[in-house]
């Protein structure tokens, strides 16, 4: 890992300066070194998606604002909670991913193709290619995929927009083939691999676990294929413990621009304050189930140089965390955003009596998740177990019962916080498990709720799960500003394409629009797998 940290930002400095859209400038590669060490690109591809705080600010708005986990940041409530359209927010993922991550991962796959010495880098590249394109296609629907980033190799300067159905079917093929391609006798990727330090067995498990995630997207549009692929992924071997978690550990570097620090943490915390608040909906759902993760997720802090923690004092005063959390649909200055006592008088440990306004009573991102030296989890063992619980409940042959997988998912979800430097209390964990057995008649509500809670730092995955399941009810888009809402009072189902695509790739853009039911680029349309 020390080697990886030493080369990480060298790799970024060498490769990240790619800023064009999907046109000739994007796909030309005049500066590529054909002999570049693939390890450098592996590092870059793994780090880039969580390196930019401003990009993550927009992801927490679109789609984070649609799923009732966060509140109070102005843009989050204005554009997410109120449902107002913003072209720059629509375009953020597209314009961040295609010129950098996608260009690099496609180049990695092509440069290592049919080179036996680089077979492991090639296989890892195929898996990461799927991982990153999955986020894009789930966000927009039909996108450039087969020809994207290929102009340097094939001359496709204006790549076609491919149907999501075809993209998904290729995902399954790519993951299956990549998992079977790894060869321990070939050159190691340990020098650049931030996910697993070159552990090929863990890479195989990641490929199969992603395959399971992708299969469960299809439960509405193609249940037979969903079942077939989920069962095959499990048979081939998915994550089996928290040691399999796919994550990138970040450095202790703060700031508002791309750096070595966790971009989400750096966006949450500006100096000694945060504009974000944890939603009452999320805290209430966790408190109802006696979830021991509440202090890991949230806390109330003063805006001083150490962010003095007043959470225990407020809990003692009010008796419930939910009481001093703010609704996802509200601003802190909205008259409906209330706490019983505003201000409240509190006595600190040193005997100082202070008066705390409601803004600082409302629960913020915890010190743990506001620390830039924390991991970003790309896929967890807990998610796999919760998906297996769902699959078992649906009658898939995945081994074990829905109840046993559900319990394993809850346990893993708490214990994975050891990656953040937390030592979960085992008594509290056992009480949580005892309280939350899977109950007949509420199985999918329970599973969906736990997926929602688990992925609160991954709004992309949370939004996808909500769209495919329609659960939990707590995640339902709140339309409390009907005169301002621009999504017909409904939760948006996809993001609109960047306006720039109308001129840079008009034929591809129009072909995708023509395949939409309304023939209009709108966020009320549904992606292929999100069947009514």
- The tens digit of pLDDT for each residue in 247-289 reads 999 999 998 888 889 999 999 998 788 999 999 999 999 999 9
Please tell me the total count of domains within the chain. 1
Q: What is the pLDDT of residues 40-66, one digit of tens each?
A: 999 999 999 999 999 999 999 999 999
How far, in Å, are 317, 322, 471 from residue 340 at the CA level?
Answer: 10, 12, 30
Q: What percent of the chain has pLDDT over 90?
A: 84
DSSP labels for 452-503?
HHHTTT-HHHHHHHHHHH---GGGSPP---TTT-SSTTS---SPPPPTTHHH
Q: Is residue 25 part of a domain?
A: no
Residue 297 is assigned to a structural domain of this protein: yes
In this prediction, residues 142-153 reach a mean pLDDT of 93
Q: Is residue 69's pLDDT more than 70?
A: yes
Other beta carbons within 10 Å of 412: 22
Q: From residue 470, how far is each of 220, 466, 474, 516 by CA, in Å?
A: 11, 5, 10, 21
Q: Is residue 277 part of a domain?
A: yes
Average pLDDT over residues 159-181: 98
Higher-pLDDT residue of 415 and 15 is: 415
Q: pLDDT band for position 477 (50/70/90)?
A: confident
What is the average pLDDT score of the chain?
A: 92
Question: How many C-beta atoms surround the C-beta of residue 153 within 10 A?
Answer: 15
Q: Is the pLDDT of residue 4 over 60?
A: no
Helices and strands, counts by H and E, the chain: 24, 10
Provide mean pLDDT across the span 146-167: 92
- Asked whether residue 349 is assigned to any structural domain, the reply reads yes
pLDDT at residue 32 is higher than 60: no
Range of the domain at 319: 270-365
- Check residue 271 and give its pLDDT: 78
> What pLDDT score was predicted for residue 10?
42
Give 479's pLDDT tier (boundaries 50, 70, 90): low
pLDDT above 70: residue 391: yes
Residue 370 has pLDDT above 80, yes or no: yes
Contact present, 205 and 238 (Cβ < 8 Å) = yes
Six token digits for residue 384: 């796999």
Sign of CA dihedral 132, 136, 141, 142: negative
pLDDT number for residue 483? 81
What's the average model confidence in pLDDT over 495-505? 97
Under the banding of pLDDT at 50, 70 and 90, the label for residue 35 is low
Is position 316 within any domain?
yes
Residue 452, CA distances (Å) to 119, 447, 460 in order: 37, 9, 11
Is 417 within the bounds of a domain?
no
Supply the pLDDT for residue 484: 86
* Position 353 in a domain: yes
Cβ proximity of 469 and 302 under 8 Å: no
Confidence of residue 20 (pLDDT cuts 50, 70, 90): very low
- Residue 340 located in a structural domain: yes
The pLDDT score that the predictor gives to residue 334 is 87
């Amino acid at each position: 890992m020390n080697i990886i940290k030493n080369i990480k930002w060298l790799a970024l400095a060498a490769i990240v300066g790619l800023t064009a859209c999907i046109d000739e400038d994007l796909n030309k590669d005049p500066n590529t070194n054909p002999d570049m060490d693939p390890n450098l690109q592996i590092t870059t591809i793994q780090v880039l998606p969580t390196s930019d705080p401003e990009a993550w600010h927009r992801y927490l708005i679109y789609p984070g604002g649609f799923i009732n986990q966060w509140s109070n940041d102005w843009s989050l409530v204005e554009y997410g909670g109120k449902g107002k359209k913003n072209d720059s927010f629509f375009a953020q993922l597209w314009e961040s991913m295609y010129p950098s991550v996608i260009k690099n991962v496609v180049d990695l796959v092509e440069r290592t193709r049919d080179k036996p010495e680089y077979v492991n880098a090639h296989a890892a590249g195929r898996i990461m290619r799927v991982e990153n394109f999955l986020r894009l296609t789930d966000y927009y629907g039909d996108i450039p995929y087969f020809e994207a980033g290929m102009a340097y190799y094939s001359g496709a300067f204006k790549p076609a927009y491919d149907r999501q159905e075809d993209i998904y079917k290729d995902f399954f093929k790519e993951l299956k083939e990549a998992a079977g391609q790894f060869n321990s006798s070939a050159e190691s990727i340990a020098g650049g691999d931030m996910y697993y330090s070159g552990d090929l067995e863990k890479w195989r498990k990641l490929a199969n676990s992603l395959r399971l995630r992708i299969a469960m997207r299809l439960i509405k549009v193609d249940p037979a294929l969903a079942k077939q692929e989920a069962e095959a992924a499990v048979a081939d071997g998915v994550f089996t413990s928290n040691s399999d978690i796919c994550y990138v550990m970040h450095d202790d570097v703060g700031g508002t621009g791309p750096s070595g620090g966790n971009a989400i943490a750096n966006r949450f915390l500006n100096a000694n304050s945060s504009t974000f608040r944890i939603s009452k909906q999320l805290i209430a759902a966790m408190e109802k189930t006696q979830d021991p993760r509440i202090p890991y997720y949230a806390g109330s802090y003063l805006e001083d140089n150490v962010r003095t923690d007043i959470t225990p004092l407020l809990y003692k005063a009010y008796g419930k965390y939910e009481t001093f959390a703010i609704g996802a649909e509200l601003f802190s200055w909205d008259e409906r955003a209330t706490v019983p006592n505003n201000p409240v008088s509190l006595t600190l440990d040193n005997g100082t009596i202070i008066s705390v306004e409601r803004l600082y009573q409302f629960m913020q991102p915890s010190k743990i998740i506001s620390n830039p030296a924390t991991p970003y989890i790309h896929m967890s063992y807990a998610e796999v177990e919760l998906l297996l619980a769902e699959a078992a409940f649906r009658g898939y042959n995945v081994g074990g019962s829905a109840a046993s997988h559900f319990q394993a998912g809850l346990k893993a979800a708490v214990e994975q916080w050891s990656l953040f430097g937390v030592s979960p209390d085992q008594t509290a964990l056992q009480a949580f498990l005892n309280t939350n057995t899977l109950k007949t008649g509420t199985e999918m509500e329970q599973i969906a709720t736990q997926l929602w809670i688990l992925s609160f730092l991954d709004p992309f995955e949370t939004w996808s799960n909500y769209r495919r399941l329609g659960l939990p009810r707590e995640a339902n888009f709140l339309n409390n500003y009907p005169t301002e809402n621009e999504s017909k009072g409904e939760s948006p189902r996809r993001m609109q394409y960047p306006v720039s695509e109308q001129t840079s790739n008009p034929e591809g853009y129009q072909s995708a629009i023509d395949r939409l039911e309304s023939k209009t680029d709108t966020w009320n349309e549904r992606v292929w797998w999100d069947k009514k």
